[in-house]
Amino acid sequence: MDSDLGAKVKKLRIAHGLTQEDVAKALDVTPGYISNVENGRNLMTLRMLSYYAELTGVSLDYLAGSVDKNYQNTALDNEIMQLVQKMDADSKEKLIATLRIWNTNEK
């Protein structure tokens, strides 16, 4: 099945014989919202994904797909950047010196 969420939502809806109105009523949203999801203009919240998975009898991970393998590295990079931004100049210089030592030891 297509890895695009909107396409998955639409294919599952059609496979279950549901209209956008049926899905909207079941999820307590508007048919326009479902249309926007199916056409890639909106993303479903985790709660909506969970309800939709239950409605269509699929797992949440099937709908959401797998996590990008680089995501964890990106999250770690973001956390480092947030911590560094809070440091004063002296602390940043100490951190750079420490990183240079670690980097030299790993070669």
**Phi, psi dihedrals of residue 10, rounded to the nearest 5°:** -65, -45
Q: Per the structure block, which two tokens stand in for 105?
A: 């030891």
Look up the pTM and report it: 0.60
For 4-12, what is the mean pLDDT?
A: 92
**Residues in Cβ contact with 104 at an 8 Å cutoff, skipping those fewer than 6 apart:** none
Confidence check: pLDDT of 1 > 70: no
* Euclidean distance between the first and the last CA atom of the chain, given in angstroms as a whole number: 44
pLDDT tens digit sequence for 22-79: 999 999 999 999 999 999 999 899 999 999 999 999 988 888 877 666 666 677 787 8
- Residue 106 vs residue 89, higher pLDDT: 89
Confidence check: pLDDT of 4 > 90: no
What's the pLDDT score for residue 105?
A: 74
CA atoms within 13 A on the CB side of 10: 14
pLDDT tens digit sequence for 81-91: 889 999 999 99
Is the CB of residue 49 less than 8 Å from the CB of residue 64? yes
Closest CA to 60 of 9, 14, 24, 23: 9
